[in-house]
Amino acid sequence: MTARVAVGDTVEDFTLPDETGVERSLGELLEDGPVVLFFYPAALTPGCTAEACHFRDLAAEFAAAGARPVGISSDGVERQMEFTERHGLGFPLLSDPEGVVRDRFGVTRGFSLAPTKRVTFVIGRDRTVAEVVRSEIRMSAHADRALEAARRLRGRAA
């Protein structure tokens, strides 16, 4: 396992399939602006649903800040598709079943039914981490704090 990614770190590019099975790279996702990459333990569970739906509910605010939420978990493509369809999420959900990207970001929980920690990274277009949100129990904190960070990034770019 690698060290935890922190504010100021530059993250490597990666490619994973989204909920439709299309391969998506971080570089491609960053072309339109900052990415709010939120790792969550398991699709369709109560906590992860609350977290993802809060990102969905703030979609207009994220768009106004020029940022795009992107979820990532170890769930398979089919489960990610069910998650987004059931809740109308409207943003990419990446599938990392082998935990390669999870390990790279240092959010592996270890031996567990939910091997991914709940951590959100706000990543600028230059792949520099602007904010890290770590909270296992306050689901709304992830989108709220990420939105503040995205707005700060927008202000610096203006």
pTM recorded for the entire structure: 0.93
Give catalytic status of residue 53 as yes or no: no
The reported pLDDT for the residue numbered 137 is 78
Burial group, residue 110, by CB count within 10 angstroms (0-12, 13-18, 19+): exposed
Report phi then psi at 2, rounded to 5.
-90, 170
Q: Give pLDDT < 70 ranges for the chain.
A: 1-3, 111-112, 156-158
The C-alpha atoms of residue 98 and residue 16 are separated, in whole angstroms, by 11
Q: Which of 48, 139, 150, 153 is catalytic?
A: 48
Is 116 within 8 Å of 40 (Cβ atoms)?
yes
